[in-house]
Amino acid sequence: MPLLEVLVVRDKPLTREERESLKQEAEAVFQEVLGTPPGRLRVIVVEDLDDAKDPSLF
């Protein structure tokens, strides 16, 4: 099963709706571009709120 890990760095946490939307968009891209069948992609969203405060990352 393909796995996609998405790292989100921002000042505030994602809402449930934003998290689900991100997963759905990733699944749609994998289906369209790579032909991944629906339900075969596992999407993990990781949030790093500490890195959002580190100016060296920008």
- pTM for the model stands at 0.69
Reported as a single tens digit per residue, the pLDDT across 1-55 is: 778 888 888 888 889 999 999 899 988 998 999 898 888 888 888 887 665 455 4
The pLDDT of residue 57: 46
Q: Residues with Cβ < 8 Å from 49, sequence gap 6 or more?
A: 9, 10, 11, 12, 13
CB count in 10 Å sphere of residue 22: 15
Q: Residues with Cβ < 8 Å from 41, sequence gap 6 or more?
A: 1, 2, 3, 4, 26, 27, 30, 31
Place of tokens 């709120």: 49
Residue 56 has pLDDT above 60, yes or no: no
